[in-house]
Amino acid sequence: MDCSNSSNNSFNNSFKNNRVLVTGGSRGIGLAVSTAFACQGATVAMLFRQNREAAEQALATLPGDGHSLIQADVADAGAVETAINEAIEKLGGLDIVVNNAGIGAYHPPQSSSYEQWQQAWQSTLATNLVGPANICFCAARHMMAHGGGRIINISSRGAFRGEPGKPAYGASKAGLNSLTQSLAVALAPHKVFVAAVAPGFVNTELAAELLSGPDGDAIRAQSPFNRVAEPQEVAHAVLFLASKGAEFSTGTIIDVNGASYLRS
Ligand code: NDP
Ligand 1 atom at minimal distance to the Cα of residue 73: 19
Residue 9 pLDDT:
66
Ligand 1 atom at minimal distance to the Cα of residue 173: 34
Q: Ligand 1: which of 23, 29, 97, 134 to mutate, judged by most atoms within 8 Å of the beta carbon? A: 29
Can you list the residues of the chain whose pLDDT is less than 50? Answer: none
Residue 11 pLDDT:
87
Q: Tell me, using a 6 A CB cutoff, whether residue 50 lines ligand 1.
A: yes
Residue 123 pLDDT:
98
Q: Tell me, using a 6 A CB cutoff, whether residue 255 lines ligand 1.
A: no
CA pair distance 148, 61, nearest whole angstrom:
29
Q: Tell me, using a 6 A CB cutoff, whether residue 101 lines ligand 1.
A: yes
Rounded-to-5 percentages of helix, strand, coil across the chain: 50, 15, 35
CA angle centred on 254, ends 107 and 244, rounded to 5°: 135
Q: Supply the residues annotated as catalytic.
A: 169
Write down all domains in the chain, each with its CATH number in brackets. 13-256 (3.40.50.720)
Which of 73, 79, 81 has the alpha carbon at shortest distance from 24?
A: 73
CA pair distance 199, 202, nearest whole angstrom:
7
Residue 4 pLDDT:
77
Q: Tell me, using a 6 A CB cutoff, whether residue 75 lines ligand 1.
A: yes
CB neighbour list of residue 129: distance below 8 Å, 6 or more residues apart: 172, 175, 176, 179
CB of 231 closer than 8 Å to CB of 31: yes
Residue 158 pLDDT:
98
CA pair distance 237, 221, nearest whole angstrom:
22
Rg of the chain taking only CA atoms, in angstroms: 17
The DSSP secondary structure of 166-200, one letter per residue, reads -HHHHHHHHHHHHHHHHHHHHHGGGTEEEEEEEES
Q: Tell me, using a 6 A CB cutoff, whether residue 127 lines ligand 1.
A: yes
Tell if the pTM clears 0.95, that is, is over it: yes
Three-class SS of residue 70? strand
CA pair distance 104, 29, nearest whole angstrom:
15
